[in-house]
Structure 1
Amino acid sequence: MTFDLTYDDVLAAAEVVGAHLPVTPLQAHPLLDQALGRPVLVKHENVQPTGAFKVRGGVHLSATLTDAERRHGLVTCSTGNHAQSVAYGARLAGVRATIVMPASAPAAKRDAVAALGAEVVLVGASLGEAGEHARALAAETGAAFVCPTDPRIVLGHATAYLELFGQAPALDALFVPIGSGTGAAGACLARDALAPGCRVIGVQSSAAPAGWHSWRTGLIEAAPATTRAAGLATTTGYPRTQAILRARLDDFVLVDDDAIDEAARLLATCAHTLAEGAGAASLAGAIATGVEGAVAVVCTGANASADEIARLAGSVAAA
């Protein structure tokens, strides 16, 4: 499959994903509106069976595997939610999956991947090091390496935004967190067809800015990832998604980890929602930019680590 993705491809992916996953809610929360001083809608991808939007990519992947992929199994690398997505999809398809995760990946996410039946291999201190090992392992065993930006994954993720723009077709701005950029790329694909007047704005942690640098310079840049938000801890831009983001993303902002933690506190106290760091980042971006009008943010995941929950509990108690 090439990476020349179309809206028709997104519609086809939606038929596959919709057969396995329910539509997630897009909701207003009056207390959150009051805290922000302006209205914002929250797309609750945190209610997916793996706790994150990325399961959509795994479901779509499971239905589009080649015969060779089914025979030899899958290998991928991830800090957590992509790992669960591929493990979930592999279980649906009845194929083997090995997930290489950096040692820094939260224990809860490692355990969740293993519970889905995948083999977990811990290698390296960063996602980049885990990725190198995963590619080498795939070459050694004959398994297929599933890049986090595989076109089938991007199309699965785009189905979240197909839903969102169907639920709220008159949005002025949509904030989407960016790690590898698959969600934001999918958002742009759906937006162009359904809501061309809506600005799609990417949000990344300033402590893991490789995607932001890549988008700004037009080159594939690397940067250290020291963010506390595991889902945003990518060390490089990704060529496939950057090609879409450079052409279609309206803006890209950085927020610091403290701002992400504060957004997670607001989601917990004002929207009854547990969000991991990546899941709170889009709200942090909306707060930082002060964009008004009809605005939506995506709570992409609820798989908070023990450290994130402890920080959240402390901030709520202090508030």
Structure 2
Amino acid sequence: IHVKHENHNPTGAFKIRGGLNLIASLSDGERRRGVITASTGNHGQSIAFASLLAGVSCIVAVPKDNNPQKNAKMRAFGATVVEQGKDFDEAREWVEREAEASGRRYVHSANEPLLIAGVGTYALEIFEELPEPDVIFVPIGGGSGACGCSIARTGLGRKTRIIGVQAVEADAFTRSWRGPERVVAAQTATFAEGLATRHTFDLTFGILKRELYDIVTLTEAELEEGVRLALRATQNLAEGAGAASLMAAVKMRDQLDGSKVVCVMTGGNLNMSALQRIIA
């Protein structure tokens, strides 16, 4: 097993790649009007960090009771953080209304080709170092990371199987991908906020419906064990979503015997109260 450490990026997550690419591509008018987005943290940090570098005003809507460490980092990067709704999707719906009223450039966390192109650069680094991995495990929330990886794989002509990882308690994408129609969940109940979406999104779902090999779902106990496993095996602090790929590989180990496997550790921004509970 090889681990791709995106948790060592400046914001502690892979999302920074997409934020830098998108903000660098804004028109002069968009820069003047500023940007607005919704996030549970890592996407918001990426847009806030890139906006800070570019001198662009940034608003990030987060759910109530969001990870306080992620909120603090977004504020440290100069963003105005606004609490809206009980979960990511309610925060996103507020942002869509606010963007229309204010004229700010709405940055969707998934339906953005420039975000996907940016985050996909992590996959180019994987294939540069390991030209022919058999399997890459990638956690799926909105799906941009898995899309970037899949597009890079296909563009390079590799045969690597891309396997997504979701939480059992936030599996709308999994049920949509496996079923005849797309599903909207009534709620999510996972501590791994990077996986906590109730909806699928047009751009990422369309790509992954075509490109993804399979999906593994993890219980909350398995996600917590993934965090402990990351600490023991890699000496890295991973958030729930960031450790999910490693735990998925362990769960599927009997099917992977002899395979060259890559697990993408997408982020390390774990809520300290969650860490205390998990390692107690």
The residue matched to 2:13 in structure 1 has which SS? Answer: coil
Alpha-carbon offset, residue 195 of structure 1: 5.4
Alignment correspondent of 1:174: 136
1:59 equivalenced with 2:25 (yes/no): no
1:200 equivalenced with 2:162 (yes/no): yes
| Cα-Cα RMSD | 1.1
2:204 to 237, 241, 250: 241
Alpha-carbon offset, residue 229 of structure 1: 0.3
Count the aligned residue pairs.
Answer: 275
1:306 to 266, 272, 277: 272
Alpha-carbon offset, residue 210 of structure 1: 1.1
- When structure 1 is superposed on structure 2, of 131-140 and 75-84 the one drifting more is 131-140
- When structure 1 is superposed on structure 2, of 252-261 and 50-59 the one drifting more is 252-261
Report Cα offsets for 1:274-308 as digits up to 9, x if no partner.
Answer: 00001011112111222231001010000000222
Inter-partner Cα distance in structure 1 for 2:150 and 2:97: 32
Inter-partner Cα distance in structure 1 for 2:217 and 2:157: 24
Inter-partner Cα distance in structure 1 for 2:163 and 2:268: 21
Report Cα offsets for 1:117-154 as digits up to 9, x if no partner.
Answer: 00000011111110111111111111111001111111
Alpha-carbon offset, residue 73 of structure 1: 0.5
Q: TM-score, normalised by structure 1?
A: 0.84
Alignment correspondent of 1:88: 49
Check whether the contact 1:169–1:194 (CA below 8 A) recurs between aligned residues.
no
Inter-partner Cα distance in structure 2 for 1:214 and 1:302: 28
Check whether the contact 1:225–1:233 (CA below 8 A) recurs between aligned residues.
yes
Check whether the contact 1:175–1:285 (CA below 8 A) recurs between aligned residues.
yes
Report Cα offsets for 1:21-47 as digits up to 9, x if no partner.
Answer: xxxxxxxxxxxxxxxxxxx10000000
Alignment correspondent of 1:297: 263
Report Cα offsets for 1:218-252 as digits up to 9, x if no partner.
Answer: 53321121111011111111111011101111111
Q: TM-score, normalised by structure 2?
A: 0.96
Report Cα offsets for 1:248-284 as digits up to 9, x if no partner.
Answer: 1111121111111111111101211000001011112
Unaligned runs of 5+ in 1: 1-39, 315-319
Structure 1's 218 and 237: CA in aligned 2 closer, same or farther, altered over 3 A? farther
Inter-partner Cα distance in structure 1 for 2:217 and 2:174: 8
Check whether the contact 1:175–1:286 (CA below 8 A) recurs between aligned residues.
yes
Inter-partner Cα distance in structure 1 for 2:10 and 2:26: 21
Check whether the contact 2:238–2:265 (CA below 8 A) recurs between aligned residues.
yes
1:191 equivalenced with 2:153 (yes/no): yes
The residue type equivalent to 1:163 in the other structure is: E
Inter-partner Cα distance in structure 1 for 2:264 and 2:22: 22
Structure 1's 220 and 71: CA in aligned 2 closer, same or farther, altered over 3 A? farther
